[in-house]
Structures are given as structure tokens and as C-alpha cells.
Structure 1
Amino acid sequence: MTSLSTPPLRNDGARRADIDRIIEIACSTAALIDCRRDQIRDVLTPIATIDSVDTEIADSIDLLNTAGVEYAAYRQADPETQLRVFLPANNLLYSLALFVALPSLFCGNVLARPASRVKSAYLELAAILSDGPIDIGDRMRTYSQATFAEISQGSVVVFSGKPENGRAVDKECASGLFLGFGTGINPIVIGRDLSGPELTNAVEATVAARLYNNGQDCLCPDAIFVDAAVADEFVAALVRRLATIPVVSTGTTPGLISAPLADMTTYDRAVAELDTLESALVWTGEISADDRHCPIGVAVRRLPEIARSVPELFGPIFNVVVYDHLDQVVDFLDAPETEPYGMYLSVFGVAELVGVDRVGSARNTGARTAFEFENGHEPFGGFGSNGTISAGVGREPVARPLLLSAELARYAAERGGVDAQR
């Protein structure tokens, strides 16, 4: 089996051999994931829908099969970097691929702590992949957060989760470099320029984005801004489409589904948000007999009626906000209360926003949802401090899109760079 140890690179021939070695290890890991997809599904479908699990599998395979794309950036980083990863409670396999397997191809000191709620699932995934060229299990630590923070002192720390928890972790770890992947509103804007098939396509994109993994993802849109000129038509089409979504008792049914949420904590949180929106609800779906089944809900309010701080709706909830003029939406997204949550903004039928790179702190993805836009080899997120942020001891926190390899290369350059012969 090809070794993960990092050889010195003294000439072009050595570099070519190193690239080939990295690609071989990465592709072998991808092949193992492909071969064991049924076992991976068995682990993840109790906490995620089968479609989202298959997306994770496909994205993880693609990420590793194309690992060479980031070779130059990772080779500018210090291979002795002490990297500590606080893994999230969702997107388990993809998080392992992105934040553990990929950097382990280049850095020898990578350790990760699984989120407590899904620790057993992470360990099962690690066991499934343990005989591959990257022993994921060897990099996992099931310590308490406090203990893991102790062994992370001064490290490069990657944290995925609630931004307030991330700030606490950064402080606990006295991070040399802290990379926080938090949450954003990721709104969709529906403009007056839509009609007929274009409006139908926008409805379909909205449903697919909001119901990805039954709404349990930080990229799901927490607000859908709709021009008053098309609001009635959009909401009617949205409700018609949602009425066709199968209501099932497990996440193993393919396609967009209404299924039980991952755990009671997530369920309680989603139901509390539904209760808050009760007076604005225009439609709610059915539920199964499962105790964790939150119904799909559609709430409709006018923009002046909503608070500037939009909550993360970690469940199957459609928060439709009707506006009269686009300036209202732009002002809302640029407000101090909203600015920290800027990640992505999807736009359908708004001529004024075509070609505009960002609105407030959110990157404009055009007529693509955040899920369609995101690429593991490209910087993730936007410019909101609760979305993606670079920080650490003695550093001025900077909110910007983040790519781990690029941040590690930048960090090495700040510290004087790595061996010039590498």
C-alpha cells in the first residue's frame, strides 16, 4: 500500500512522483468509499435522507478523485502543521473527506473530534474505511471538547457548527489559526421577471434546496424573498408542489421526502420555529407516526413584518417573505443585524442583480442554489462573520470565503514559508 509519509521534494522528478503518490492514495480512498457505499448508507440513513447520503458519497468520491487540483496549495503549506478538526453533526462522510482525508494526504498531524450527538456514526464510518490507505479511525479522538481543546493549543483549528460555539472553541484552543464554518441565511430571491416555466423552475429549485436532507443543512435557504407581483402565483405553485412530496416514516425513500428529523433536539428546535410562525402559516403537510416527524410548513409574511435577525430553520420550513421593491431586500441583507449571516444568495428573475457579485455580505450565485454552487475545491461561504471566518490568537478576525488548503498555504507564508526546495 502506498505510504502517506511525506518525502522531501528536491527536483521535478520527485515532485512528479509525489503528485502521483498523492493521486493514487486519494483515488484508492475514493474507490473504497464507492465499494462500501451500501455500508455507508446503513450508517447514515437513520440520521439523513437517502438522497442526501448519496450526494455525500458522490461528492466525497469526486473530491478525492480530483485531489490533485489542490496539490500546489497544500504543498505550499507546512507538512508539519498540527491540524485539529471539530467535526459537525451533519454531512458526516463529506466532512471526513474534506477536513480529514484530503488534508491527511499532505499533512502528517491531523486529528478530528466528532460531534457528540453523532459520535457513534462517525466511528462506524471510520471503521468502514479503516483498511484503506488513509486510516480515518487513527485520526479520530472521542475526547470531551475540553480535552480535545487541550491537545489543540496553538494549532490550526477547523470548526464546523454554531458560530457562538466556534468562538468559544477558538478561545479555548488559543488557535494559531482558526477557521470557522458556521451558518448563513442563504436566501433565495424570486423576482417579478418570472412567469410560466421559469417560475415553475424557480419553485422546483427552492423546494430542492429547502428540503435537502429534510431541511437539515446549513446551506438550506432560511428566507425566500418573493416580489409582490408574483407572490400569489409563487406561493400557490409552491404549495401544489409540496403537496406531492411523499410523507414517509424513514429517510430511506429516494427523492425529496417529508421524513422524521435526525434526533429529538433537532425536532424540538424545528417545531418551536413552526410554533413561532403559526399565525403566518398558509399550509402544513402531514406527518408519519414517528415522534421526530416535523411537518413541512409554509409561512408567508411581508418584509416589514419580520425581524432583521432571521433564524436558522433547521427543518422543512419555508419562510416566504413578500417585498414590494428590490431595494427593501438589499437594505435588509445589508443591515447590521443580517450582515453576519452572509454566505450565499440565489436569484431567479431579478434583472437588476445579474452580474452583481455580492449583496451585503452574501455572494450572488445567480440562478443556482448554494448546493449547486458549492465546490469542495473552491472557497466556501461568503463575507458574514457567522458564516465563514478566519481568526486566531493575535489575529484580526476576517470574514471571507474559506478553502483549507489556501488558508494553510497563507499561514505558512506568514510564518516564513516552508523549505524552499519543496
Structure 2
Amino acid sequence: MRNATAEGELLHVASSGSRTVEAEPDLDHMGFLCDTWADFLLERSEDLTRLLTEIATRDSAVAELDSAIATLRGGRAEMRQFEGTTGGRVCTFLPSNNVLYSYVLFGLMPGLWSDEVLIRPSARTREAVFALHGILAGLPHNPVTMADVSQREFVALCREARTVVFTGRYENLHAIRESIPSAVPILGFGSGPNPVVAGPFADVAEVVRETTSSRLFNGGQDCLCPDLLIAHSSIYPELRERLAHAFAEVPRAPRERPGLVIPPMFYNDAFEAASAFIETHREKVFSGGTVDERNLRLEPTVVEFPCLSETHPPELFSPVICLTSYHEATEVRAWLTSETETERGMYVSVYGEPGLPDPVLGTSVNCGPRTSFQAEDGNRPFGGYGRRASARWQAGEVAARPLLLSREAGPHPAADAVGTPLVAR
């Protein structure tokens, strides 16, 4: 099945038919592989960081490598909770960012309990992913095959899969679902606005520091970056000024420079979308707003909106954040439970707002006074309860909930303590 060169570059993938899912898991061997793979990544850390810095900032590349190693180190404990059988094929549509971490989450980890994992990279980072696979070809018992095929051909391979992992646009997920038997589970990993709520008792300096570091992480190009900051009216003026100042202080520098920096944007389509957003709301720009089309640079930008209930920013995937205010916690709760936000609820960070103590607000997982980056853990379910953020699609139904592949592979892939029922199409 793995038709690769010695350097790990795939030449072709051909369908070999579905595999029987019947073997009992060897947990000791799974743990051994996780530890071995983690050691390999650590040994090749310089090569991996150098490669990742071609598409990401150095700090985000280092953080990604750390997360990948930590996930593998936690693999032994995670697999102790595995209740399924081994075998079958997993097909993964790899995202265009966090390619190493995604390779681990959606390639190596499911490879512990499947016969084979086929990965099709995003066209935007195809060369980098194949170069990454070339480095990781040295992994002992690497279960991943890179599928150098068209999307149509890859979807055909998905029809025989045990599980399909889709990381991409929600609209594209539905197009693919129509071509895959409904019995095949599709695990959809999307995105959400990941808002930050700064309440009347919030430490403004802390909120500004953590919002700046999370919004501008990798130049703003990550699905965990917050798109919206909702500040209580009592602290709003101070927070607005300090946030604008903090954004302006972040140096404009190449990706290779250590520290929080604003490099040229890597993704052309994200640059165009963010530029269009700024132009559409030019009169609402409080700070920043400069667009350099020639060099794909966006100045870190704060865009003010006067009414929370009418503010539903798209995924900005850029150094741009929306800012609005509120008076009562009930306004934030109403926003989080609105139709638009329950569809895409993922994470929400809450600082100094005692009126929002719930572990889940609407469909968003409450991180408390932490960023979504601090809350995310590769060995725990990812996402929220919005169907656009994370959901399992199977047999004409959707179960929107945080997802962990090893849990979803079990015989009873139930939701965690705060579950949601299956909802018809």
C-alpha cells in the first residue's frame, strides 16, 4: 500500500479494499510506539523547526513541535482508555496550518489502532507536508501514507474507510459527505470565533497580554485565535487603549525571528479576506488597518463594533480582532446562545465575569481565565458543541461535541459529561 521513495515521497496510492476491524489492541506496543515517535521528533527537532518556519513563525513552529511531542508522550495514557478494536483505514484531509501537529493527531495517533492512515495535504501547504513526510519517513513503523491524488480520487478511497477525518470548510464537508456512504463516520474539525470575555472584575493587563499573544500567534493564522473581544463597559475604555497599544508594539519581522512577531501573511486567500473585511468596516477601525498588498502585510488591527448582538465576525485568520462591549452578563449569554453562535460554538475565555460560570456557554466550552491555546490538549477531546466547530456525522445524523479520535473509534462513541443528542440532518 505504501508506494514511497526512500525519502518518503509518495508516488501513488491505489485502493486495496477495506480491512476487517477485529483485532484486540496491544496497549503495551501502542505505548512503545508513542514513546519511540516522540523520541524521534525530539532528535530531529532542528530539522522540523527549520521546515515549519517556512510556513509559520518560529515561535509557533516551536510550540507546534512541543505539542506534537507532548501528545505522543501522553499517548500511552490516552490509549489505556481505548475501548475499540484495531484495524481498518483512516482517511485524513490535513489542514493547511499546524501540519506537524495535525500529522501526529490525525496520522500517527489513529495509526495506533488502524491498519493504515491515508493523508491528503491541503494544496496550500502541499510541498511543506511532503517535505515533512520525508523527514518522518524515518519513524519506526510509520503508519502514514501520503495520498498524492486528486480530491475525487481521495474521496473514492474514503468510501472504504473506517473513519474519515475532515479539517476544512464546513461547506466542503457537506459536499464530501454526499459522496461517502452514510455508514462511514466523518469527524469534522472546523473553527469558531473563540471569543474572549473581559468582565468587570478582570485584570485588564492580563486580558490584554493574553489576547495579544493568542490573537497574534503565528501572525493570527490559527483556528484557535480569538476573533472577538467582549469587554464590560466599566473597563472598556481602558482595555481598548491598552489593546491598541499592545498590538502596535508587536514588531513587524520575518517568520524566522524568535518572539511574537507580525510577518508577511503566508496564506493569500486569508490575506485577501482579511483585507476585504478591513475595507468593508473601515469606519469602525480603531487602530491599525494598514494593508500592504505587495508584501502581504497587515498591520495588527482593532475593529470596533457598537452592538454585541449584531456582531458575528467571520474567521479572520489574520492579525485582526473585533472589539465590542456589554453591560450585563445576560447579554453575553444571549449572544452565545444565538442561532449563529450555537452553530459554531468552540471555545470561550472568560476573565472576571462571575455571571458566566457554566462549563459550557451555549455550545462553547468555557476555558475560564485561559486562552484557547492554553486549554487545548492533544490527548483530550478538541472543540466545542457547535456543529461547525466539531461534530461526528454518520448515518444521516450529526453529534456535535468535542472530538478525540481514539474515543470516537470505540464501540460507544458517546459524548463526554456535557453531551448533545444526535440531531437529524
1:269 to 269, 273, 280: 273
- Separation (CA, whole Å) in 1 of partners of 2:234 and 2:168: 37
Q: Report deviation, 1:20.
A: 3.2
1:185 to 193, 196, 207: 193
Residues 177 and 411 in structure 1, CA contact (< 8 A), matched pair in contact too: no
Match of 1:94 in 2: 101
After superposition, the CA RMSD in angstroms is 2.1
1:310 to 310, 313, 325: 313
- Structure 1 residues 260-269 or 82-91, which shifts more? 260-269
Q: Report deviation, 1:288.
A: 7.8
- Separation (CA, whole Å) in 1 of partners of 2:141 and 2:123: 23
1:322 to 318, 325, 333: 325
- Separation (CA, whole Å) in 1 of partners of 2:141 and 2:180: 26
Instruction: Number of aligned residue pairs: give it.
Output: 392
Letter in 2 for 1:350: E
Residues 310 and 338 in structure 1, CA contact (< 8 A), matched pair in contact too: no
Map 1:162-311 to 2 at 5 A: 162-175=169-182, 176-194=184-202, 198-248=203-253, 250-284=254-288, 291-304=295-308, 306-307=310-311, 309-311=312-314
Letter in 1 for 2:301: G
Query: What whole-Å deviation, never above 9, does each CA across 1:170-199 have from its counterpart, x for those lacking one?
Result: 2222251110001111110011113xxx21
Letter in 1 for 2:139: G
Q: Which has the higher contact order (CA 8 A, sep 6+)?
A: 1
TM-score (norm 1): 0.88
* Counterpart check, 1:22 vs 2:34: no
1:151 to 137, 153, 157: 157
Match of 2:360 in 1: 358
Match of 1:397 in 2: 398
Query: What whole-Å deviation, never above 9, does each CA across 1:229-288 have from its counterpart, x for those lacking one?
Result: 11100011112212221111x211111111111132221122112212211111117778
Query: What whole-Å deviation, never above 9, does each CA across 1:26-76 have from its counterpart, x for those lacking one?
Result: 2221111112122212222121111111011001111112211222343x2
* Counterpart check, 1:107 vs 2:109: no
Q: Report deviation, 1:411.
A: 5.9
Q: Report deviation, 1:353.
A: 1.6
Query: Could you tell me the percent identity over the aligned residues?
Result: 31
- Separation (CA, whole Å) in 1 of partners of 2:301 and 2:240: 12
Question: What SS does the aligned partner of 1:272 have?
Answer: helix
CA 1:50–1:134 in structure 2 vs 1: closer, same or farther (change >3 Å)? farther
Gaps of 5+ in 1: 1-5, 10-14, 414-422
Letter in 1 for 2:63: T
- Separation (CA, whole Å) in 1 of partners of 2:319 and 2:168: 19
Letter in 2 for 1:37: S
Residues 29 and 134 in structure 1, CA contact (< 8 A), matched pair in contact too: no
Query: What whole-Å deviation, never above 9, does each CA across 1:361-403 have from its counterpart, x for those lacking one?
Result: 11111001111001111111111010001112x2411111111
Map 1:37-56 to 2 at 5 A: 37-56=45-64
CA 1:59–1:290 in structure 2 vs 1: closer, same or farther (change >3 Å)? farther
Q: Report deviation, 1:322.
A: 1.4
Gaps of 5+ in 2: 1-20, 415-425
TM-score (norm 2): 0.87
Residues 111 and 139 in structure 1, CA contact (< 8 A), matched pair in contact too: yes
Query: What whole-Å deviation, never above 9, does each CA across 1:93-151 have from its counterpart, x for those lacking one?
Result: 00000110111122112211111111111110010111111436x51102111110001
Residues 19 and 68 in structure 1, CA contact (< 8 A), matched pair in contact too: yes
Question: What SS does the aligned partner of 1:398 have?
Answer: strand
- Separation (CA, whole Å) in 2 of partners of 1:106 and 1:396: 25
- Separation (CA, whole Å) in 2 of partners of 1:134 and 1:171: 34
Map 1:361-376 to 2 at 5 A: 361-376=363-378
Query: What whole-Å deviation, never above 9, does each CA across 1:269-320 have from its counterpart, x for those lacking one?
Result: 221122122111111177789611111101112225734x421111000111
Match of 2:4 in 1: none
- Separation (CA, whole Å) in 2 of partners of 1:32 and 1:398: 36
Match of 1:36 in 2: 44
- Separation (CA, whole Å) in 2 of partners of 1:134 and 1:262: 33
Residues 159 and 180 in structure 1, CA contact (< 8 A), matched pair in contact too: yes
